[in-house]
Homo-oligomer: A and B are copies of this chain.
Amino acid sequence: MKIVVDAMGGDHAPAVVVDGAIQAARALETEIVLVGQQAAVEAELRKHDTAGLPITVVHASQVVEMDEHPAAAVKAKKDSSMVVGMDLVRHGEADAFVTAGNSGGALAAALFRLGRVRGIQRPALSTVFPSQTPQGHCFFLDVGANADCKPEYLLQFAIMGAVYAERILGVPRPRVAIVSNGEEVGKGNQLVQETVPLLQASGLNFVGNAEGKDIPWGIADVIVTDGFTGNVIVKLSEGVAKFITDTLKTEITSRTLSKIGAMLAKPAFDMIKRRLDYREYGGAPLLGVDGVVIVAHGRSDAYAVKNAILVAARTVENGVLEAIRRGIAPSESDAAD
């Protein structure tokens, strides 16, 4: 197996990406290809002991920046690490691509260079969301690839999400829900109301509507929504979590017994931070494109990059792409275009 890593992607690239890639190479039996500006990447590599590790570098002169318009940047920068990296997967020279760069850019580059799985109408960006399921999280998509969706897209997101939850997150027959503004049957905007019958008829383990308040409480293993709502949900959760923990910390440390209180409360805050930490999951797949692409958080540190590479390796090993191809095949689903 060979995994391509976008050395230039993320807020702290290339330093933390190279560091994370080295950690992953030590943990895995797999080859890692760092794509990016060769001099910069090699300078980072020299800071570590990489003797005997299966790491190579492929040069790409350009970088898709975090704040660039994704599609335009990818079109203009044919020698960017994102495009060059995707091409390695496209040409069969590697099995997966991992990036902590511009997620819209990853989507555009994947569509542009890899294309969609046959039958998939739209790919989806996913994430692993903390939730009180037995496994401690739920798989959530779309979180931003498609601001406007059709019912058929959401059905396909559910099929792909269930495959991923089963094969990578280890959830047998995952429970699937759809985000709605009420748990009762019949609640929802037009999109939800038209999608529910498709999910009911899909053969998936569809458990109904998920209200906003239910999402953290383990109501389902896979939750689907359109990319607009999904993006708002993921970012709002971040905002609310930060608001509450910051306010609590300020309050605890501002009181008389502040030092003791802060000391006693610190392990709890550390725990909640870990619990909500995207770094543990490393990254989440871009599902529906014809190749394994894992997108990590732009703020990723070396530990998160390492975990994203491990996720990529598991995704390849467990045949997620093939399972999606089969799950979406016209003979098994009416949803293919």
Contact = CB atoms under 8 A, between A and B. Distances in A.
A269 B276 CA distance: 19
A33 to B, nearest CB: 31
Contact of A239 (B148, B212, B257, B276): B212
A215 B233 contact: no
What does DSSP make chain A's interface, helix, strand, loop or mixed? helix
A314 interface: no
B272 A251 contact: yes
A173 interface: no
Contacts of A240: 216, 236-237, 240-241, 244
Nearest to A257: B264
A231 B180 CA distance: 9
Given A251-B268, A261-B265, A236 B217 contact: no
A228 B229 contact: yes
A211 B237 CA distance: 11
A161 interface: no
A231 B245 contact: no
Contacts of A252: 264-265, 268
Interface size class of A (residues with CB under 8 A): 35 or more
A160 to B, nearest CB: 20
A147 B181 contact: yes
A179 B242 CA distance: 19
Contact of A243 (B180, B216, B233): B216
B267 A264 contact: no
Contact of A189 (B214, B228, B236, B247): B228
Interface in A262-276: 264-265, 267-269, 271-272, 275-276
Interface in A156-170: none
A215 B233 CA distance: 11
B255 A264 contact: yes
> 6 tightest CB-CB pairs across the interface, nearest first?
A212-B235, A212-B236, A213-B239, A181-B231, A251-B268, A261-B264
